[in-house]
Chains A and B, each alone.
Chain A
Amino acid sequence: MAKVLVYLEAKGDELKKISREMMTVARMLGDSVSGVISTASDVALSSAGKLGLEKLTNLAPEEGKFYASEAFAAELAKLVEAEAPAYVIFGQTNLGRDLAARLAATTGVGYISDVTATEEGETPTFVKPLYAGKIIGKFRFKAGPPHILTIRPNIFSPAEAEGAEVSAEIVQPDYSSARAVLTSIAEKAAGTIDLREATIVISGGRGLGEAANFQMLFDFAEKTGAAVGASRAVVDEGWIEHAHQVGQTGKTVNPTLYIACGISGAIQHLAGMQTSKCIVAINTNESAPIFKVADYGIVGDCKEVVPLLLEEILKSRG
């Protein structure tokens, strides 16, 4: 078995769920896992240290400076050189994919992005949806190691902490070499659940009728712990921000439960949600294409159904 390097991510004091998911993949591919993180939080650092790592490196941010692809890729390239891992694993998150790509470009090694499954064998194969999920591609590394992967969030089960806590080695990234630097983070309000990590997603489309009716979905989300998604049609109408768009030119989500309210089910929308475990569609038109992918459907007005559904779910939870 082999060495694996994972690029962990934290959000404030919390280790992101994707970090534990990366650990699961890392343990499938190797027996010695080292971690790299960049955080100013001792709490996050300590959680990372408890994941069962051989070694943990913190690319310590400077005052007012956070991520910088050039500087971070240079540090990772040094680590890769020194430790010769078989795999370097990132999350398919905005910064994870960015750093993975810059590292792949810097080192010229093989890179497979957005992996959703691994198949073991003499040379492992990696599964990745192509063409917005219309095709499932299987890939193999032809050269290397090292091999670079990003994994899609919410697919692999998160690993539990194990082993003794390791303390982090501090590395000061060379920010002076970076000509593009993340200088401020406008943190989201506490309690907002990331679409890509949510267990329940409730999405609205043009069938909601008007922008104000999105409030119904936000209410639902707040009370059930869901995240709110949207079709492109309503994003383009300006009813809701692009950050909520699900689909080929929006986000890909894999919740346990996806509830599509007043969404027709265009192929580009399906691209972003068809791997959800259970899909519920609420639509007035019984021949809407969304019903073809839905596990359960209600033919009816979503403005009427959503409040009832919320009430019923809360009742059932007691």
Chain B
Amino acid sequence: MNLAVITKLVPDTEARLSLAGDKVDLSDVEMVINPFDEYGLEEALKIKDADESVKVYALMVGPESARKQVVNCLALGADEAIVVDDEAIDGANPLAVAEVLAAELKKLDPVLVFAGKQGVDYDWGLTAVAVAQKLNWPHVGVVKQFTPDFAAKTFTAVTESDEGDLAFSGSLPAVITAEKGLNTPRYASLKGIMKAKKKPFAVHKLADAGVGAAAVGADRAKVEEVQATHPPAREPGRIIQGEEIADRVCELVRVLREEAKVL
């Protein structure tokens, strides 16, 4: 039985981002595996923990330089990694990326595909759902609890919403996108790190994926980014002074009512 985890490279959440003209300049930014994808990977690894014959693939459309980060997925327990790096792919277009991922996934024949609920860069939340659509599979998004039944080829999944918890039932194969809280990702062990060096790591071109350049090129994009700017800085605030805590609180409530008018 095969499982696949799709991942994306994003800037470290600590990173400060600078601009080069109208665009974000990521040239000097530390890149990491999208944090939400880590919950997806952990969910696959939990299934593998229970059944050693399960094979977990880590799949990414991204630069070959992502090797360092993707090897960490192997160190954590994934069996094989595939990075599709081809400049013909419009990496900014989730539908183009999904096209490539879906083509690779067809060859891997997984029963489940895990992903993060969204990339913490552009927050499109579209790629994994589009993969499901292209594979003609169901999906459940933003999952915080997942229980597969491989014998029955079914699953249940819980997502959180403003109405309350939502429980889904579905059939496998399926795409599941992970919310934080789905699990607690493990750390790589020393043994895992040593083993990772010997695990298969493939770097593919579009041709290996079996996708034509015309299907995933920049001219297919339906949306264009016109401009990126920094948000306006907040006006400096002030520390409320006062002898006793009670005086400060009193003054705070006064300014919230009279100056800020928010009470």
Contacts and interface: CB of A to CB of B under 8 A. Distances in A.
Interface stretch (A45-53, A137-145, A204-212): A137-145
Interface of A: 11-12, 16, 66-67, 69-70, 93-95, 97-98, 101-102, 104-106, 108-114, 125, 128-144, 178-188, 194-197, 235, 241-243, 245, 248-250, 256-257, 267-268, 271, 274, 277-280, 286, 291-301, 304-305, 308-309, 312-313, 316-317
Nearest to B169: A183
Interface residues of B, number: 79
Interface SS of chain A? mixed
Contacts of B95: 104-105, 108
Contacts of B202: none
A179 B138 contact: yes
B221 interface: yes
Interface of B: 11, 13-14, 16-17, 19, 24, 35-36, 95, 98, 120-126, 129-130, 132-134, 137-142, 144, 157, 159-171, 174, 179-181, 221-231, 234-240, 245-246, 248-250, 252-253, 255-257, 260, 262-263
Nearest to A309: B249
Contacts of B223: 110-112, 139-142
Interface SS of chain B? mixed
A277 B261 CA distance: 10
A109 B262 contact: no
Given A135-B228, A279-B237, 6 more contacts: A102-B132, A186-B165, A291-B239, A309-B252, A312-B250, A316-B257
Contact of B13 (A132, A178, A241): A132
Contact of A297 (B36, B139, B238, B250): B238
A138 B179 CA distance: 27
A178 B120 contact: no
A294 B235 CA distance: 9
B228 A249 contact: no
5 contacts: A134-B230, A138-B229, A180-B157, A186-B164, A188-B164
B38 to A, nearest CB: 10
Contact of B14 (A98, A113, A267, A301): A267
A105 B168 CA distance: 21
